[in-house]
Structure 1
Amino acid sequence: MKFYYKITILASLGCVSSMVLAEPVEFRLATDSGSKGSPVGDSMERWASIIEENTKGTPDEISVDIFYQDELGDQKEVFDLLMVGEVDMMINWPMTSYDRRMGLRNVPYLFLDWEEAFAAYKTGGWLNDLYSEVHEDMGLKFFGAYPEGFAGVATRGQYATTVEGADGLKIRVPGNFPNPETMQAMGYAPVSITWGEVYTSLQTGVVDGDGGNVIYWDYEYFRDVLDYYVRTRHNFVTGVLSMNQQSWEQLNKNQKEIVADAAAEVSAQQFEDAREFDQSYVEKAIEAGMKYIEPSEEELQELALVTREKVWPQLDDEFGSELVSKIRERAPEL
Structure 2
Amino acid sequence: MRLWESLIEERSAGRIQVEVFYQGELGGQQELFDQLVRGNIHMMITWPQTSYDERVGVNYIPYLVLGWDDAIAAFSPDGWVQELMAPIYEDIGLKYIGPFPEGFGGIATQNRYATNYDDAQGIKVRSQPVFPLPQTVNAMGFQAVPIDWAEVYTSLQTGVVDGDSSNVIYWDFEYFGDVLDYFVQSSHNFSSYSLLMSDRTWDDMDEADREIVLSAARQVIDKQFAEARAEDERWIKAAQDGGMEYVVPSDAEQLAWVERVRAEVWPLIEESLGREIMDVVRANAAVPGKAGAAGG
CA distance in 2, matches of 1:87, 1:200: 32
Q: Which of 175, 185, 194 is residue 148 of structure 2 equivalent to?
A: 194
Matched letter for residue 139 of structure 1: G
* Aligned mate of 2:181, from 218, 222, 227: 227
- Write the deviation string for residues 254-296 of structure 1: whole angstroms up to 9, x where unpaired: 2111111111110111111111111000001111111100001
Secondary structure at 1:64 match in 2: coil
Give the drift of 1:326. Answer: 0.6
* 2:39 match: 85
1:185 equivalent among 134, 139, 145: 139
Show the counterpart of 1:100. Answer: 54
What TM-score results when the alignment is normalised by the length of structure 2? Answer: 0.94
> Paired residue for 1:331?
285
Distance 1:79 1:202 in 2: 29
Cα distance in 2 for partners of 1:288, 1:90 equals: 33
Q: Pick from 274, 293, 311: which aligns with 2:265?
A: 311
**Correspondent of 1:267 among 186, 198, 221:** 221
SS in 1 for 2:19: strand
Distance 1:176 1:147 in 2: 18
| Structure (1/2) with the larger strand percentage | 1
2:7 alignment partner in structure 1: 50
SS at match of 2:17: strand
Q: Tell me whether 1:322 sits opposite 2:276 in the alignment.
A: yes
Stretch deviating more after TM superposition (196-205 or 227-236): 196-205
Deviation at 1:82, TM superposition (A): 1.2
Matched, 1:120 2:77: no
The structure showing larger relative contact order (alpha-carbon pairs under 8 Å, at least 6 residues apart) is 2
> What is the TM-score with the length of structure 1 in the denominator?
0.84
Q: How far off is 1:234 after superposition?
A: 0.6
Deviations 1:148-169 (A, max 9, x none): 1111011111111111111111
Give, as a single letter, the amino acid of the residue that structure 2 aligns with 1:50: L
Shift >4 Å, 4+ stretches: none
Identity across the alignment (%): 47
- Higher alpha-carbon Rg: 1
Q: Where does structure 2 lack aligned partners over 5 or more consecutive residues? A: 289-296
Question: Do 2:65 and 2:74's aligned partners in 1 also have CA atoms closer than 8 Å?
Answer: no
Partner amino acid, structure 2, of 1:141: K
5 Å matches for 1:141-180? Answer: 141-180=95-134
**What secondary structure does 1:66 align onto?**
coil
